[in-house]
Amino acid sequence: MKEYLFFILIALLFSCSGNKQKNPGSNQKIQKESIEKLLAEKPVQTLKESKPLTVPDIKDKMVLMEGGKFLMGSENGLPQESPVHEVTLISFYIDKSPVTVAQFRKFIEITNYKTEAEKFGDSGVFNLEAQNWELLPGAFWSKPFGPAGPVAEDNHPVTHVSWNDAVQYASWAGKRLPTEAEWEFAARSGKHSGNKFSWGNEILVDGKYFANTWQGELASPEIIDGYLFTCPVGTFGENEAGLTDMGGNVWQWCADNYKAYPGSSEPIREDPNIKVIRSGSFFFDQYGEDSYSVSGRSMNSHETSLFNTGFRCAMDVK
C-alpha cells in the first residue's frame, strides 16, 4: 500500500496538468561524474558529518503570532490556491525554524520511537543519476541517502519523516502541527503585504537568494544558491515575523487534510489520508517558484516520507 501511494503521489507531483514549468523529462540521464563535479566544486553543499550541536530546550525558539483576520490564498497562483477567502485565527505560537536533525534525535533517544521509514525499510529519494524517484532501502532521518551515504547534519531540517511521525514528535514536545491557515498567516508575517514570497515579491532580491531552492534543469542542476540538497535552518535569514525557511529547504507538513478552498471549482476530493504540505523545498518542482510562495500548497499521503520533506510545530497560547 505504501509503495502504491508513493508512486501515485510522485506521478501527481510530476504530472502535466496545470503545469507552469515544463518538466525536462525523467528519461534523461545525468552522469555520475557531473554530480560529483558539482559537489566537488562547492564542498560546502555536501552532506557531511559535523560536530554535535547543543540541543536547545524543545519549547524554546517559538514566535508568537497575534491572531486576527487575513485573506488566505491567491488569485494569481496555482488553481488550488484560489479563491481568496477570509480566515480568522486566534493567537498561536509557531516554531522559528523547521525541526532539526538534532532536535529530532533527542526525541528518538528519549522515546525509542521508530519512524515509518525505519519500519518500512525504505524512503523516497530522487536518484539524480538515474533521473527517477525510488524507494531507497535503508534511507531514514539519520541517513537521508541510505546506509552508504553521510549522516544527516544536526543543524539541517530533519527529513524522511511522515505526517504520522511529525504528529508523534509534536505531541511528545507538547506541541502540534500548524494548520494550513496558520502556516500561511505566519509566512505572510501576519500582514496583508501582498508579497508572493515570505521575504518579498521576487526569488532574487538585488541578486541575493532568500531561500534554498532548485536552480537549473532536473537533468542538469546548478548550485547558484550554494546548496544542492538541504541547508542549515536559518541560512537565508528571517521574514518580518522572525521566522526562517518559510519557503524552500524542505516541504513542511500541516495538520489539515488536503481539500479545495470554499467556493473552489477544483475537483479535489477530501481524503483523510492525504495531508497538506507547504513551503516548497530545495528540490525541483514542476510548479517552479509558485511552490515557494506564501500561498503555494501541495499534498502527500500521511505515511509517505521523502528526502525533501520535514515539518515545524505550533502551539496554542495558554
Distance CA 52, CA 75 (A): 45
| pLDDT for the residue numbered 101 | 98
- Reply yes or no on whether the pLDDT at 44 is more than 90: no
What mean pLDDT, rounded, does the chain reach? 86
Specify the pLDDT at position 59: 52
Confidence band, pLDDT 50/70/90 cuts, at residue 2: low
For residue range 68-127, list pLDDT tens digits in order. 999 999 999 999 999 999 999 999 999 999 999 999 999 999 999 999 999 999 999 999
Whether the pLDDT of residue 27 is over 70: the answer is no
Q: For the ranges 2-6, 217-221, 262-266, which has the lowest average pLDDT?
A: 2-6
Q: Which of 50, 262, 72 lies closest to 153, judged by CA?
A: 50
- Residues 100 and 106: their CA atoms lie apart, in Å, by 10
pTM score, two decimals? 0.84
Give the pLDDT confidence score for residue 140 in this predicted structure.
98
Residue % of the chain over a pLDDT of 90 = 78
For every residue of 212-238, which 3-state class applies, written as one string?
Answer: CCCEEECCEEECCCCCCCCCCCCCCCE
| pLDDT of the residue at 49 | 36
pLDDT at 30 over 80: no
- Please state, in angstroms and rounded to a whole number, the distance separating the CA atoms of residues 79 and 155: 35
> Is the predicted pLDDT of residue 130 greater than 80, yes or no?
yes
- Write down the pLDDT at residue 70: 95
Q: What's the CA gap between 280 and 283, in Å, rounded?
A: 8
Instruction: Over range 271-288, report the average pLDDT.
Output: 97
pLDDT over 50 at 295, yes or no: yes
Check if the beta carbon of residue 65 is closer than 8 Å to that of residue 241. yes
pLDDT tens digits, one per residue of 171-181: 999 999 999 99
pLDDT band (50, 70, 90) for residue 191: confident
Please name each of the domains of the chain with its CATH number: 2-316 (3.90.1580.10)
Where are any strands of DSSP class E within the chain?
Answer: 62-65, 68-72, 85-89, 92-95, 122-127, 132-137, 204-205, 208-209, 215-217, 220-222, 251-257, 274-278, 298-301, 309-310, 314-316
For residue 196, how many other CB atoms are within 10 A of its CB?
21
Write b or e for each residue in 159-180: b if 16 or more Cβ atoms lie within 10 A of its Cβ, otherwise e.
bbbbbbbbbbbbeebebbbbbb
pLDDT of 14 > 90? The answer is no
Tell me the C-alpha distance between 209 and 197, whole Å.
Answer: 12
Least confident residue range of 24-38, 154-168, 270-284: 24-38
Quick: pLDDT tens for 195-207. 999 999 999 988 8
pLDDT of amino acid 193: 75
The answer to whether residues 248 and 226 touch, using CB atoms and an 8 Å cutoff, is no
Which letter does DSSP use for residue 189 in this model?
T
CA quadruple 294, 80, 312, 71: dihedral sign: positive
Find where cell 504530472 sits.
Answer: 15
